[in-house]
Structure 1
C-alpha cells in the first residue's frame, strides 16, 4: 500500500512537470516564431526604406534625361519609366507610414520614426511628397509647358543632391535597424528567461521525483540477491564467450596489443606481428616504446598519456617504426583496462596502417595546390590572371577603406603589339609578353603590390597605400625597364625597341563597390591619353 501511494505521488509530480515543460516548450516555440517573423518583417521594412534612396536618385536621373531628350519616342519611354518609379516610390512611402494590423507597423510608428517622418517643417514625409509631386509635374509639363521644365528639373535635382532628402531616408533606415535590434533583444531575453525556468523545473523534478525513485531502486537491489545463483551459472557461459573473443582478436586484421599499466607488452595478435615484423616472443615484456620512430611529436605522446591515465580513450595518428627500421603512418586507439576497483590494470591498443591513405592525401593536397595556382595565374606570363586581379582589387579596396589609405592602379599596354605580332608571329609575341611581364615583376618590391595580366597585351599593377607620386615613380621605372630589354619593335614602327604606355589612377576608397570600377575607368582613361599623346609615356 505504501509503495502504491509513492507511485501515485510520483506520477502526479511527473505529470505536473511534463505539463509545465510542455507549456514552456509552447512558449519558446511562439517566441521562436515571433523572432523569425520579426526578422522577416524587419528585413522587408529596412529593404523598402533603403530602396527609397535608390529610387529617388533614379527619378532625378530620368527627370534630367526627359528634360534634355529631343527624340519623342525616347521621351515617351523616359516618361513611362519615370511614372513607374514615382508610383513605386509613392506606394512604398505609403507602406512605410501605414499603421495598424496587417501593416508595416502593426503597433504604430514609434515616436522616433514619427519625428523623422512628420516632425518639423521639413519632415521626411513632406520632402518625399514634394519630390514626387515635382517629378509628376515635370512629366505633365515635359511636352505641354516647356517653359516650366527647367524650373521643375532644377527643383528635382536640388532636392536629390542637397542631401536633406537622402539624409532623411538614411535616418529612417537607421532608426528601423535600431528598433529591429531592440525587438530582437527583447525576444532573446524572453528565450533566456524560458531557459532559466526550464532548468528550475528540471531541478525540481530531480529533487521531488528522481530522488524518491532512487531510494526505491535501492530497495529493489536487495531483491537482486535472489538472482545471484542464476548469475553464477552464467559465469561459465561468459568464460566461453571470452575464449571466443580471444580467438577473434587473434584473427583480427587490425593490429592489437595489450600492455600492463607500465606499457609493458603482454600480448600482440598476428596482425601486429605482421605489421611490425616482430615475433610474439620478441614483443612480450618489451615496452611499447619499441614502436616509436622518433618522428612523432612529443606533444602527441604527452596528450596520449594524459588521456589514458585519466581513464579516457585516446585516438590519433602517429608515425611508427618496424623492426627493419622502416616507418609507416598509423591510426592508433588506446583504451585503459579497468579492474573491479576501477583502477587501471593495463591498456589495449588497436592500430591501422594508413600509409597508403596518407600518401593519397599528400598527392591530393599537391594536386589541389597546383590547381589553385593554375586557377589564379596566367599560364603564359605567370602573373596573376584577371580573376585573381578582381579578387585582390576587392580585398584591397575594403582594406584601404577601413584604414583610410589611398589605392593606386597602373594600367599598362604594349605599344603597337598587333604590328609586332604581324611582323614576327605569335610565338615571338608570346616571348615579348613574358619578357615584359618579367620586367614589371622586377620593378615591384613591396609584398602587397600585385601585377596581373589584364587581357591581351594589357597589364595591371595594383599598389595599395601608394599615392599618385609613388605610383608615377613605379610607372616610370616599369617604362624604362621595358625599354632597357631591347626588344626590337616592328619594322614599320618609329621606335627602335618595344615600349609601353602607362595610365595611373589613385583614389581613396569608400564603402561603395562602384568606386572600384571608377578606379579602373580612370586608369584606362589615363592609358588612352598616353596612347594619344604619342605612346611610351606615363599619364595620370
Structure 2
C-alpha cells in the first residue's frame, strides 16, 4: 500500500535507481541522464499513487510535494526535467499560479510542465480549450487516469519526446558558445536567405550588429565585386545540396569591401530541400592585415565612432 503522507514531510523522494543513456545530436554525442520528476499533489489519491508507482516502475527519480511553497523550493534545488501539477481542483492551491512561478525561474526554460485535468464527461459539449493552460506555461495536459500503465506510458512519451528534445536544445547552447568564440565570421540564414544569426566575429568585421541584420536578405549585404558567375555557382551548389568554397567579397557598414575565403553549405530539411544556409568566412591573404587591426581595441573604438 502507498505510504501515508499525512505523517510525512511535505516533500518525498523515491529511491529509484538512476540510469544514463546516449543520444546523438547530429555528430555530437550527448549523455541523457535519468529523467527526474516532481509531482505536486495536495493530497494522496489514486492519481498521485499512479504517477508515483509509474515512476518507480520506470526507474525515474521522483519527488512529491504537497504545497506550492515546498514544490518551488524543491524544484529550485533539483531542477527537475518534468513537473506534474494537479489541476483538477483549485481548493488547495492555484495550479496555474504555481506553473507561472516555476516558469519565472531561469532553470525552467527546458522543463516540461504537465497539468493533470479532469476528464471531460459532457460528450455532447465542446471540450474546453487548452489555450489557458499553455498561456500559463504548461507544456502538456494529462487527462486523469490512475492506471499505472497509462501513467507510465505518459512518462515514457515525455522522456523520449519532450525531454530529449529539450535536452538537445539545451546542448545547442554549447554550440552557440563555440560560434561566439571563433574568429571566423559565421552567418546562418533560412531557406529564404533571411539572416537568423551572426556571431560576434561577423559584427566586428562588418560593423553591423546582429540586431541590424536579423531578418535581412543576405543578398542585400553582398558586395557588387562578387561577379554574377560567383552567385550563380553558389546558388547551383546550394540547390544540389553541395558546399561551395572560394573568394567572396564582404561589404562593411562603412562601405569598405574585403575579400574573404568563404565556405557555404546548405542544411537539408524536410523533403531533402535546404532549410538553412551556413556561411563561414575566414581572412583572405589580401585582408589579413585588416583582421590584425580588428584585434586592436583602440582601432575598434575608432571605427565605431
TM, length-normalised to structure 1: 0.23
The structure that is strand-richer by fraction is 2
Q: TM-score normalised to the size of structure 2?
A: 0.39
Greater Rg over alpha carbons, structure: 1
The structure with higher relative contact order (CA 8 Å, sep 6+) is 2
Please state which structure has a larger fraction of its residues in helix.
Answer: 1
